[in-house]
Amino acid sequence: MSDVLVLGGGIVGLLSALELTKRDLSVTVIDGGPPPASWAGGGILSPLFAWRHSSFLNRLTHDGVSRYQTLVLMLEESGFLDRKAVLHLGGMWVQVAGAELTRAQRWAE
């Protein structure tokens, strides 16, 4: 029998479970199953249309991907998940046209 039951295997649930194990508590995580809870939301760490946002917001999210990678690797090393299930670094696609395409290209340069 576990000391603590964590409902939800998303990034918050798993990090909570990890912290509890560091405090010498036994933890059981119950999750609804694939896809992992944080597969979509946890991996979106920057504005989808970055050129629509201020430079302040873009700077705030600049290191989000590396921080998320660190958390995922820490959870994997602790046996809580397989990083292949939640860490997707293939980039993202957006479709724009006209003036917004020009604005997006200018931002990307």
Number of domains present in the structure of the chain: 1
Which residues of the chain, if any, have pLDDT below 50? Answer: 43
The predicted pLDDT at position 70 comes to: 87
C-alpha distances out from residue 53 to 57, 59, 78, 102, Å: 7, 10, 37, 15
Tell me the residue range of the domain where 62 lies: 4-108
The predicted pLDDT at position 71 comes to: 85
The predicted pLDDT at position 84 comes to: 77
The predicted pLDDT at position 63 comes to: 81
